[in-house]
Amino acid sequence: MAKGVKPRVKLPKTAAAGDAITIRTLINHRMESGQRKDGDGNIIPRSIVNRFTAEFNGQSVIDVQMEPAISSNPYFQFEAKVPESGEFVFAWHDDDGDVYVLSRRIEVG
Amino acid sequence: MPMTRRDAMALATGSVAAYGLGAVPARASAADDAVAAFTGGAEPAEGGVVLDVPEIAENGNAVPISVSADGAAAILVVSTKNPLPRVATFRFGPLAASSSGSTRIRLARSQDVIAVARMEDGTFRRTSASVKVTVGGCGG
Protein backbone atom coordinates (compact mmCIF):
# COMPACT_ATOMS: atom_id res chain seq x y z
CA MET A 1 0.00 0.00 0.00
CA ALA A 2 1.28 3.40 -0.95
CA LYS A 3 2.00 5.59 2.05
CA GLY A 4 -0.33 8.25 3.39
CA VAL A 5 -3.34 7.32 1.28
CA LYS A 6 -6.54 8.72 2.74
CA PRO A 7 -9.78 8.81 0.75
CA ARG A 8 -12.38 11.46 1.49
CA VAL A 9 -15.88 12.04 0.15
CA LYS A 10 -18.33 14.89 0.55
CA LEU A 11 -22.01 14.34 -0.15
CA PRO A 12 -25.33 15.19 1.54
CA LYS A 13 -26.71 12.82 4.21
CA THR A 14 -30.26 13.13 2.96
CA ALA A 15 -31.94 13.80 -0.39
CA ALA A 16 -35.34 13.73 -2.05
CA ALA A 17 -36.14 10.76 -4.30
CA GLY A 18 -34.79 11.29 -7.81
CA ASP A 19 -32.70 14.29 -6.78
CA ALA A 20 -29.40 15.00 -8.45
CA ILE A 21 -26.75 15.36 -5.78
CA THR A 22 -23.23 16.64 -6.19
CA ILE A 23 -20.44 14.44 -4.88
CA ARG A 24 -16.87 15.55 -4.32
CA THR A 25 -14.07 13.08 -3.67
CA LEU A 26 -10.40 13.43 -2.85
CA ILE A 27 -7.72 10.89 -2.10
CA ASN A 28 -4.24 11.66 -0.83
CA HIS A 29 -1.88 10.04 -3.29
CA ARG A 30 1.44 11.08 -4.81
CA MET A 31 0.42 10.01 -8.32
CA GLU A 32 4.04 9.48 -9.35
CA SER A 33 3.82 9.86 -13.13
CA GLY A 34 6.74 7.66 -14.20
CA GLN A 35 8.03 10.61 -16.22
CA ARG A 36 10.21 12.20 -13.55
CA LYS A 37 13.85 11.44 -12.86
CA ASP A 38 15.68 11.48 -9.56
CA GLY A 39 18.95 13.28 -8.87
CA ASP A 40 20.97 10.51 -10.54
CA GLY A 41 18.94 10.58 -13.73
CA ASN A 42 17.04 7.37 -12.98
CA ILE A 43 13.37 7.35 -13.80
CA ILE A 44 11.19 7.31 -10.71
CA PRO A 45 8.81 4.38 -11.31
CA ARG A 46 5.17 5.11 -12.00
CA SER A 47 2.83 4.71 -9.04
CA ILE A 48 -0.65 6.11 -9.54
CA VAL A 49 -4.28 5.46 -8.81
CA ASN A 50 -5.42 4.26 -12.24
CA ARG A 51 -9.17 3.92 -11.77
CA PHE A 52 -11.91 5.53 -9.69
CA THR A 53 -15.45 4.17 -9.46
CA ALA A 54 -18.61 5.27 -7.70
CA GLU A 55 -21.63 2.99 -7.31
CA PHE A 56 -24.98 3.40 -5.62
CA ASN A 57 -26.77 0.23 -4.46
CA GLY A 58 -24.63 -1.75 -6.89
CA GLN A 59 -25.37 0.44 -9.93
CA SER A 60 -22.64 2.48 -11.56
CA VAL A 61 -22.59 6.27 -11.24
CA ILE A 62 -19.20 7.01 -12.74
CA ASP A 63 -16.12 5.04 -13.71
CA VAL A 64 -12.97 7.04 -14.45
CA GLN A 65 -9.88 5.63 -16.09
CA MET A 66 -7.03 7.73 -14.76
CA GLU A 67 -3.68 8.36 -16.45
CA PRO A 68 -0.46 9.83 -15.00
CA ALA A 69 -1.67 13.27 -16.13
CA ILE A 70 -4.11 13.36 -13.21
CA SER A 71 -2.71 15.66 -10.51
CA SER A 72 -1.45 14.35 -7.20
CA ASN A 73 -4.19 13.98 -4.59
CA PRO A 74 -6.80 13.22 -7.27
CA TYR A 75 -10.03 15.16 -6.96
CA PHE A 76 -13.31 14.39 -8.69
CA GLN A 77 -16.64 16.14 -8.69
CA PHE A 78 -19.71 14.66 -10.37
CA GLU A 79 -23.49 14.32 -10.03
CA ALA A 80 -25.50 11.27 -9.02
CA LYS A 81 -29.18 10.36 -9.02
CA VAL A 82 -30.55 8.79 -5.84
CA PRO A 83 -33.80 6.90 -6.50
CA GLU A 84 -34.03 5.45 -2.98
CA SER A 85 -32.17 5.23 0.33
CA GLY A 86 -28.99 3.27 0.08
CA GLU A 87 -25.26 3.20 0.05
CA PHE A 88 -22.65 4.78 -2.15
CA VAL A 89 -19.45 2.79 -2.56
CA PHE A 90 -16.37 4.64 -3.80
CA ALA A 91 -13.27 2.72 -4.88
CA TRP A 92 -9.82 3.87 -5.93
CA HIS A 93 -7.61 1.29 -7.68
CA ASP A 94 -3.86 1.66 -7.09
CA ASP A 95 -1.18 0.53 -9.56
CA ASP A 96 0.16 -1.78 -6.82
CA GLY A 97 -3.13 -3.70 -6.76
CA ASP A 98 -4.56 -2.11 -3.63
CA VAL A 99 -8.14 -0.88 -3.70
CA TYR A 100 -9.13 1.88 -1.30
CA VAL A 101 -12.84 1.71 -0.56
CA LEU A 102 -15.12 4.14 1.20
CA SER A 103 -18.88 3.82 1.62
CA ARG A 104 -21.50 6.39 2.62
CA ARG A 105 -25.21 5.94 3.38
CA ILE A 106 -27.76 8.39 2.17
CA GLU A 107 -31.39 8.57 3.33
CA VAL A 108 -34.11 9.49 0.89
CA GLY A 109 -37.05 11.09 2.69
CA MET B 1 -6.99 21.16 -1.09
CA PRO B 2 -4.48 19.74 1.35
CA MET B 3 -1.50 20.36 -0.91
CA THR B 4 0.47 23.21 0.57
CA ARG B 5 2.10 25.92 -1.44
CA ARG B 6 5.46 24.46 -0.42
CA ASP B 7 4.50 21.04 -1.82
CA ALA B 8 3.35 22.63 -5.03
CA MET B 9 6.58 24.57 -5.43
CA ALA B 10 8.70 21.51 -4.70
CA LEU B 11 6.78 19.46 -7.26
CA ALA B 12 6.93 22.19 -9.85
CA THR B 13 10.68 22.64 -9.44
CA GLY B 14 11.26 18.90 -9.64
CA SER B 15 9.17 18.55 -12.75
CA VAL B 16 10.92 21.38 -14.57
CA ALA B 17 14.22 19.66 -13.82
CA ALA B 18 12.91 16.33 -15.11
CA TYR B 19 11.58 17.99 -18.22
CA GLY B 20 14.91 19.69 -18.89
CA LEU B 21 16.65 16.32 -18.66
CA GLY B 22 15.05 15.29 -21.89
CA ALA B 23 11.49 14.07 -21.55
CA VAL B 24 10.37 13.80 -25.16
CA PRO B 25 7.27 15.88 -25.87
CA ALA B 26 4.56 14.00 -27.70
CA ARG B 27 3.83 15.01 -31.26
CA ALA B 28 0.37 16.21 -32.16
CA SER B 29 -0.20 12.90 -33.91
CA ALA B 30 0.05 11.02 -30.60
CA ALA B 31 -3.01 12.94 -29.42
CA ASP B 32 -4.76 12.15 -32.71
CA ASP B 33 -3.90 8.48 -32.22
CA ALA B 34 -5.39 8.53 -28.71
CA VAL B 35 -8.58 10.07 -30.07
CA ALA B 36 -8.75 7.54 -32.92
CA ALA B 37 -8.28 4.67 -30.46
CA PHE B 38 -11.28 5.98 -28.50
CA THR B 39 -13.54 6.58 -31.51
CA GLY B 40 -12.46 3.46 -33.37
CA GLY B 41 -11.33 5.65 -36.26
CA ALA B 42 -14.57 7.61 -36.57
CA GLU B 43 -14.17 11.34 -37.12
CA PRO B 44 -15.90 13.18 -34.23
CA ALA B 45 -18.20 16.09 -35.08
CA GLU B 46 -17.25 19.48 -33.66
CA GLY B 47 -19.35 20.82 -30.76
CA GLY B 48 -21.83 19.32 -28.32
CA VAL B 49 -19.17 18.95 -25.64
CA VAL B 50 -18.31 21.54 -23.03
CA LEU B 51 -14.70 21.65 -21.86
CA ASP B 52 -14.04 24.16 -19.12
CA VAL B 53 -10.35 24.99 -18.58
CA PRO B 54 -8.62 28.15 -17.39
CA GLU B 55 -7.11 30.32 -20.14
CA ILE B 56 -3.98 30.73 -18.06
CA ALA B 57 -2.82 28.13 -15.53
CA GLU B 58 -0.11 29.32 -13.18
CA ASN B 59 0.66 25.80 -11.98
CA GLY B 60 0.73 23.07 -14.59
CA ASN B 61 0.70 20.45 -11.84
CA ALA B 62 -2.94 21.07 -10.99
CA VAL B 63 -5.05 22.59 -13.74
CA PRO B 64 -8.77 22.41 -12.92
CA ILE B 65 -10.89 21.06 -15.77
CA SER B 66 -14.58 20.27 -16.19
CA VAL B 67 -16.15 18.30 -19.00
CA SER B 68 -19.79 17.74 -19.80
CA ALA B 69 -21.85 16.62 -22.77
CA ASP B 70 -25.59 16.03 -22.66
CA GLY B 71 -26.32 12.44 -23.58
CA ALA B 72 -22.72 11.26 -23.46
CA ALA B 73 -21.91 7.73 -22.35
CA ALA B 74 -18.20 8.49 -22.00
CA ILE B 75 -15.83 11.42 -22.34
CA LEU B 76 -12.11 11.16 -23.13
CA VAL B 77 -9.73 13.99 -22.23
CA VAL B 78 -6.51 14.25 -24.26
CA SER B 79 -3.56 16.61 -24.01
CA THR B 80 -1.69 17.56 -27.19
CA LYS B 81 1.76 18.25 -25.75
CA ASN B 82 2.16 16.07 -22.66
CA PRO B 83 4.63 13.15 -22.89
CA LEU B 84 1.61 10.83 -22.75
CA PRO B 85 -1.48 12.16 -24.51
CA ARG B 86 -4.31 10.47 -22.59
CA VAL B 87 -5.43 12.23 -19.42
CA ALA B 88 -8.66 10.56 -18.27
CA THR B 89 -11.73 8.71 -19.52
CA PHE B 90 -15.02 9.32 -17.73
CA ARG B 91 -17.67 6.61 -18.17
CA PHE B 92 -21.13 7.48 -16.94
CA GLY B 93 -23.37 4.84 -15.40
CA PRO B 94 -27.17 4.65 -15.19
CA LEU B 95 -27.16 6.63 -11.92
CA ALA B 96 -25.11 9.55 -13.19
CA ALA B 97 -27.39 12.59 -12.92
CA SER B 98 -25.47 14.33 -15.69
CA SER B 99 -22.69 13.36 -18.07
CA SER B 100 -20.24 15.70 -16.41
CA GLY B 101 -17.17 15.57 -14.23
CA SER B 102 -14.43 17.79 -12.83
CA THR B 103 -10.88 17.00 -11.82
CA ARG B 104 -7.39 18.48 -11.77
CA ILE B 105 -4.77 17.58 -14.36
CA ARG B 106 -1.09 18.03 -15.14
CA LEU B 107 -0.03 19.94 -18.23
CA ALA B 108 3.66 19.92 -19.19
CA ARG B 109 3.37 23.26 -21.01
CA SER B 110 1.01 25.56 -22.87
CA GLN B 111 -1.12 23.50 -25.22
CA ASP B 112 -4.54 22.52 -26.46
CA VAL B 113 -6.67 20.12 -24.46
CA ILE B 114 -9.20 17.99 -26.35
CA ALA B 115 -12.39 16.41 -25.06
CA VAL B 116 -14.12 13.71 -27.10
CA ALA B 117 -17.55 12.41 -26.10
CA ARG B 118 -19.07 9.10 -27.12
CA MET B 119 -22.80 9.75 -27.25
CA GLU B 120 -25.40 7.15 -26.32
CA ASP B 121 -26.30 6.74 -30.01
CA GLY B 122 -22.70 5.78 -30.80
CA THR B 123 -21.68 9.04 -32.50
CA PHE B 124 -18.72 11.11 -31.36
CA ARG B 125 -18.40 14.82 -30.57
CA ARG B 126 -15.29 16.82 -29.81
CA THR B 127 -14.13 20.19 -28.64
CA SER B 128 -10.78 21.67 -27.70
CA ALA B 129 -9.49 24.55 -25.62
CA SER B 130 -6.13 26.17 -25.29
CA VAL B 131 -4.39 26.58 -21.92
CA LYS B 132 -1.37 28.76 -21.27
CA VAL B 133 0.80 27.16 -18.60
CA THR B 134 3.18 29.39 -16.67
CA VAL B 135 4.97 26.64 -14.71
CA GLY B 136 4.78 23.23 -16.38
CA GLY B 137 3.70 20.09 -14.56
CA CYS B 138 5.41 16.84 -15.39
CA GLY B 139 2.30 15.46 -16.94
CA GLY B 140 2.06 12.26 -18.79
Query: B66: which chain A residues are within 8 Å (Cβ-Cβ)?
Result: 77
Instruction: Name the percent of chain B in helix, strand, coil, to the closest 5.
Output: 20, 40, 40
Residues 6+ away with beta carbon under 8 Å from B39: B116, B118, B124
> Quick one: which H or E segment has residue B12?
helix B5-20
* CB nearest A80 (choices: B88, B89, B97): B97
Contact B111, B139 (CB under 8 A): no
Which chain A residue has its CA at the smallest distance from B80's CA? A69
Residues 6+ away with beta carbon under 8 Å from B125: B44, B45, B46, B47, B48, B49, B69, B72, B116, B117, B119
Q: What is the ipTM of this complex?
A: 0.94
pLDDT score of B102: 98
Distance between CA atoms of residues B52 and B68, nearest Å = 9
pLDDT score of A16: 94
Query: B98: which chain A residues are within 8 Å (Cβ-Cβ)?
Result: 20, 78-79
List residues of chain B with CB under 8 Å from any CB of chain A: 1-3, 11, 14-15, 17-18, 21, 23, 61-63, 66, 79, 82-84, 86-98, 100-107, 137-140
pLDDT range class, residue B20, cuts 50, 70, 90: very low
Distance between CA atoms of residues A32 and A39, nearest Å = 15
Low-confidence ranges of chain A (pLDDT < 50): none
Contact A17, A108 (CB under 8 A): yes
* pTM recorded for the entire structure: 0.85
pLDDT score of B83: 93
Q: Is the CB of B88 less than 8 angstroms away from the CB of A55?
A: no
Average pLDDT over residues B81-91: 96
Distance between CA atoms of residues B43 and B57, nearest Å = 30
Distance between CA atoms of residues B80 and B27, nearest Å = 7
Partner residues linked to A33 by β-bridges: none
Contact A61, A78 (CB under 8 A): yes
Distance between CA atoms of residues A42 and A58, nearest Å = 43
Query: A21: which chain B residues are within 8 Å (Cβ-Cβ)?
Result: 97
The answer, for A17 touching chain B at a CB cutoff of 8 Å, is no
pLDDT at B25 over 60: no
